[in-house]
C-alpha cells in the first residue's frame, strides 16, 4: 500500500537536510515541496510503502537539526489528495507523478 509523508520545517536548509535523511532511511521517493510565508515554512512530500514512509518520517523527526513544525503520514491517500500533490509537483517543475 502506498503512503504519502509530509514534513514541515521553518526554512529551506533544514528541509533539504530532513529530505536527505528521509531518502537515505528507506525506499521512498521525493514528490515535491511547497514554500509558504515567503519561505519561512517549507513542506516536503515523499511517497512509498507505508512502513518505508513511517520509518523515513520518524527518522527525520529524531535526527533532523531543524525544528519540525508539523508532520504526517497518510496511508492510501485519496485520489483527490494526490491530485493536489500532483499540481504542486507540476507547478514546481517536477513533472508528472504516479499514484
What is the mean pLDDT of each successive set of 10 residues along the chain, which is 99 residues long?
94 93 97 82 96 98 92 96 92 75
How far is Cα 34 from Cα 99, in angstroms, rounded to an integer? Answer: 19
What is the residue-wise DSSP string for 6-24?
EEEESSHHHHHHHHHHHHH
Task: Specify the pLDDT at position 42.
Answer: 95
What is the pLDDT, as a whole number, of residue 38? 65
Report the pLDDT value the prediction gives residue 40, as an integer from 0 to 100: 79
CATH of 2-91, one of 3.10.580.10, 3.30.70.1710, 3.40.190.10, 3.30.930.10: 3.30.70.1710
pLDDT at residue 1, rounded to an integer? 75
Range list of β-strands (E), the chain: 2-9, 28-36, 41-49, 70-75
Task: State how far the alpha carbon of 27 is from the alpha carbons of 17, 55, 71, 85, in Å.
Answer: 17, 10, 18, 19
User: What predicted TM-score, i.e. pTM, was given to this entire model?
Assistant: 0.90
Cell numbers representing residue 39 in the block: 519561505
Q: What is the DSSP letter of 73?
A: E
Amino acid at each position: 500500500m502506498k503512503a504519502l509523508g509530509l514534513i514541515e520545517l521553518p526554512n529551506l536548509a533544514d528541509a533539504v537536510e530532513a529530505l536527505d535523511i528521509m531518502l537515505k532511511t528507506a525506499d521512498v521517493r521525493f514528490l515535491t515541496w511547497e514554500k509558504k510565508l515567503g519561505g519561512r515554512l517549507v513542506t516536503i512530500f515523499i511517497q512509498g510503502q507505508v512502513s518505508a514512509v513511517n520509518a523515513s518520517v520518524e527518522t527525520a523527526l529524531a535526527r533532523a537539526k531543524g525544528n519540525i513544525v508539523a508532520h504526517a503520514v497518510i496511508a492510501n491517500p485519496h485520489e483527490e489528495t494526490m491530485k493536489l500533490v500532483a499540481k504542486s509537483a507540476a507547478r514546481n517543475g517536477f513533472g508528472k507523478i504516479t499514484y
